[in-house]
Chains A and B, each alone.
Chain A
Amino acid sequence: MDSVWFWSLITLVVGFIVGYAAQKSGFCSVGGWRDLVLMRDTYLLKGIGGFLIGGVIGYTILSLTGGIYFSSQFPWFYFKQWAMIPGSVFTYKNLWVGWTIAALGGLGMGFFSVLAGGCPLRNATMAAEGNKSSWWYLLGFALMAPVVVYLFTLINPLGWF
């Protein structure tokens, strides 16, 4: 079988399991912080801890069984030290500039996610539960995603720093 589309199928299945678990539990990766401040409640915040532990277990299993494509990657800190995993639209040469810009992005993301009522995953589950606001949220999210990428590759093709 030509496995090009297999990746699509995997992401679909992964998304299904994640969506199902998220709906069953009300998991939210931002709501935990909000509940901590507003209600002194760590119920949701434990979700982040569970996620992190699950991820570490999963990657450890993968690296022990040779399931990570580039074997010299998994304990990222061991192989690449302080380098960031590429993905930010802001290309940079200086490590500290990259860290600062990305941290600012994280700050804004936490802020706007609370205003929007939850993290992107929580909004997707709310959309599937019939919340019309979340459909508008997802529309804005999906339309902005490529725009921000093209915007930054346009004004910053090689990196400034």
Chain B
Amino acid sequence: MAKAGAFKLKPWQAGLIIGLVASIAQAGYYLLPTAVAGVAKYKVSPPAYGFCMFCHVRDTVNWVVQNFVPTVTPAPISIIAPTLTIFGVLLGAFVAAKRNKQFAWRQTIHPGKAFVWGAAVSFCAGLLGACTLRIIVRAAYLEPFAYVGIGAIGVGAIIASMAFLKRGLG
């Protein structure tokens, strides 16, 4: 590896790496047992589930809830062990930012607004059944709908950008 901060990736290169890792991670399901004490035999391997910001965060929260307030029935995979994807992402990005000396506390949009947008994105992700990343993983799984989903996300993003252009940035 090059010196700290010396190398930079182009988005398409990063996309290639992320795509490869996210798809190969699917093989990890082989390492899970098919039944655990307390949980009936479950189906392993939701398709194209190697990486997802929404689903894995939901599973993590589910696992915590399940362990402290066992009143709800979450997805089987999250009863067994929590998915730590989000912590991995935060850790990886933090290490990279520190090495690049790009870490600095700042604030871009109002916290309340950010909270509401986060919840809104989460809600829509629930309807879609994937985040903007997993829909691409699903497209790589060659599911026809995923291409419609990518298109829908693109149209939504273009509408919002047009609104920005109309009203002026900020």
Contact = CB atoms under 8 A, between A and B. Distances in A.
Nearest to B43: A70
Nearest to B52: A87
Contact of B18 (A54, A67, A103, A149): A54
A67 B149 contact: no
A14 B153 contact: no
A60 to B, nearest CB: 9
Given A56-B140, A108-B127, A109-B125, A69 B45 contact: yes
Interface in B137-162: 137-146, 148-162
A77 B9 CA distance: 33
B48 A54 contact: no
B16 A50 contact: yes
Interface residues of A, number: 121
Interface of B: 7-33, 36, 44-48, 50-51, 53-58, 60-62, 65, 72, 74, 77, 80-97, 100, 102-146, 148-162, 164-165, 169
Q: Give the top 5 A-B pairs by smallest Cβ distance, nearest first.
A: A15-B88, A54-B19, A55-B140, A110-B156, A105-B127
A58 to B, nearest CB: 3
Main secondary structure of the interface of A (DSSP, over half): helix
B21 A18 contact: yes
A127 B121 CA distance: 16
A116 B62 contact: no
B76 to A, nearest CB: 12
24 contacts: A12-B88, A16-B88, A18-B85, A20-B92, A26-B11, A28-B11, A37-B158, A38-B165, A47-B12, A50-B15, A55-B137, A80-B143, A82-B144, A86-B47, A90-B127, A106-B135, A120-B131, A128-B92, A130-B103, A133-B109, A139-B118, A141-B53, A141-B121, A148-B127
Contacts of A102: 127-129, 145, 148-149
A71 to B, nearest CB: 11
A64 interface: no
Contacts of A158: none
Contacts of A103: 128, 148-149, 152
A155 interface: no
Contacts of B23: 54-59, 62
B17 A133 contact: no
The winner among A5, A51, A56, A134 for most chain B CB atoms within 10 A is A51
A78 B77 CA distance: 26
Interface string A36-58: 11100001101111111111111
